[in-house]
Amino acid sequence: MRLTIIGAGNLGSAIAKGIVSKSIFAEICVTRRNIESVTYLKDKGIKVLSDNKEAVRNSDVILLAVKPHQVKAIAEEIANEVGNALIISVITGVSLSELNSYFGSAKRIIRAMPNTAIAQSESLTCIAVNENVTAEDKQLTNTIFSSLGELVFIEEKLMDAATVLGACGIAYVMRFMRAMMQGGIQIGFDSKTSLHIVTQVLKGAAVMLQNEHTHPESEIDKVTTPQGCTIAGLNEMEHQGFSSALIKGINTSFQAIDGIKK
Ligand SMILES: NC(=O)c1ccc[n+]([C@@H]2O[C@H](COP(=O)([O-])OP(=O)(O)OC[C@H]3O[C@@H](n4cnc5c(N)ncnc54)[C@H](OP(=O)(O)O)[C@@H]3O)[C@@H](O)[C@H]2O)c1
């Protein structure tokens, strides 16, 4: 099978790098207009082109990873070459019905919302499909994105929420980690050791919830001794608006998606 990724930017390149070692596609091709910055992908066995029409010809799967305002022009450019390919879009805020209006109502189209951890094969990818998508397409989508992390099939109406929690979420967690790391430096660790500790603590907490299927609050109960230092710190964080700031930030990102669509 042949995969073409249109838009080898941050996400498109990360997907190409992640998928190339998985032996799902015999050929992977990426495109962008200025190909100089991605010529290194050739060393990984990925074809790099600037001609979208040539790239999509005879592709089984076409993955669109350009900015929302670029998709209409690209669809007009490649529509005649798409053939029977499955189209997967990772573009934020462009609906399945919009994509069908650009490519044709009979086209099989999938929206996927991964995050940048896809380069490490640790993405969480939310997937919504149109009514033309077959069971085989869903199986192929499952094979692609489960090789790059975990995936969840969702209703399309939740795609904006998936964008915020699953994709923007990487940035929220990074900012949380930076703050925890800075706290670690203030109480005595050098920057490198602080980052090492914070990274493994975060990984340990995540794996604990994944493996035990417990609620975060019940894990908190296990480490909060009455009158102890953990509850003292946690309560101070809450007095300073920790949970509230996070929830308000998530909500603000969600409201801001409408601006991206325009
Ligand atoms: N980054 C994330 O975490 C993330 C997560 C989920 C979804 N998304 C979505 O994924 C999409 C891509 O995001 P990104 O962060 O990867 O953006 P990006 O780095 O700007 O990548 C977009 C790429 O599209 C290329 N491009 C533009 N016009 C093109 C054309 N006519 N033909 C071929 N390539 C073209 C650009 O390269 P040239 O200028 O050289 O052509 C650029 O490399 C966006 O819609 C974004 O909302 C991103």
Q: Which tokens belong to 66?
A: 């350009």
User: Which of 81, 141, 136 is closest to 111 using CA atoms?
Assistant: 141
What is the radius of gyration, based on Cα positions, of the chain?
21
Ligand 1 contact, 31 CB (< 6 A): yes
Summarised one tens digit per residue, pLDDT across range 68-84 is 999 999 999 999 999 99
Classify each residue of 80-105 as buried b or exposed e, where b means 16 or more C-beta atoms within 10 Å of its C-beta: ebbeebbbbbbbbebbbebbbebbee
- Take atom 31 of ligand 1 and give the residue whose Cα is closest: 74
Give yes or no for residue 8 CB within 6 A of ligand 1: yes
For the residues 149-170, what does the mean pLDDT come to? 96
Ramachandran angles phi, psi of 204, nearest 5°: -60, -45
For ligand 1, the distance from its centroid to the CA atom of residue 249, given in whole angstroms, is: 24
Secondary structure of residue 182 in the 3-state scheme = helix
From 66, 81, 98, 122, give the residue whose CB has the most ligand 1 atoms within 8 Å, as the site to mutate.
Answer: 66
Q: Return the domain boundaries, the chain.
A: 2-154, 162-261
- Local confidence band at 28 (pLDDT 50, 70, 90 cut-offs): very high
- In contact, 81 and 23? CB cutoff 8 Å: no
Domain 162-261: CATH class, spelled out? mainly alpha
Q: If you measure from the C-alpha of residue 51 to the centroid of ligand 1, how many angstroms do you get, rounded to a whole number?
A: 16
Å from CA of 9 to ligand 1 middle: 5
Band (pLDDT 50/70/90 cuts) for residue 119 is: confident
First to last CA, the chain: 35
Q: Whose CA is nearest to atom 43 of ligand 1?
A: 9
Give the contacts of 78 (CB within 8 A, at least 6 positions apart). Answer: 6, 52, 53, 56, 62
Separation between Cα atoms, residue 78 and residue 59, nearest integer Å: 12
For residue 196, give both structure tokens.
């090492």
90 Cβ below 6 A of ligand 1: yes
Nearest ligand 1 atom to the CA of 170 is 3
Residue 258 predicted with pLDDT over 80:
no
Contact 62, 85 (CB under 8 A): yes
Report phi then psi at 51, rounded to 5: -95, 105
Beta carbon of 66 within 6 Å of any ligand 1 atom: yes
The overall longest dimension of the chain from CA atoms, in Å, is 69
The pLDDT of residue 262 is: 56
- Please compute the mean of the pLDDT values over residues 168-193 and round it to a whole number: 98
Q: Whose CA is nearest to atom 20 of ligand 1?
A: 9
DSSP states along 29-79: EEE-S-GGGGGGGGGGT-EEES-HHHHHTT-SEEEE-S-GGGHHHHHHHHG
H-helix or E-strand spanning residue 6: strand 2-6
pLDDT tens track for 190-208: 999 999 999 999 999 999 9
Question: How far apart are the CA of 132 and the centre of ligand 1, in A?
Answer: 26
Q: Is the pLDDT of residue 259 over 90?
A: no
Q: What is the CATH number of domain 2-154?
A: 3.40.50.720
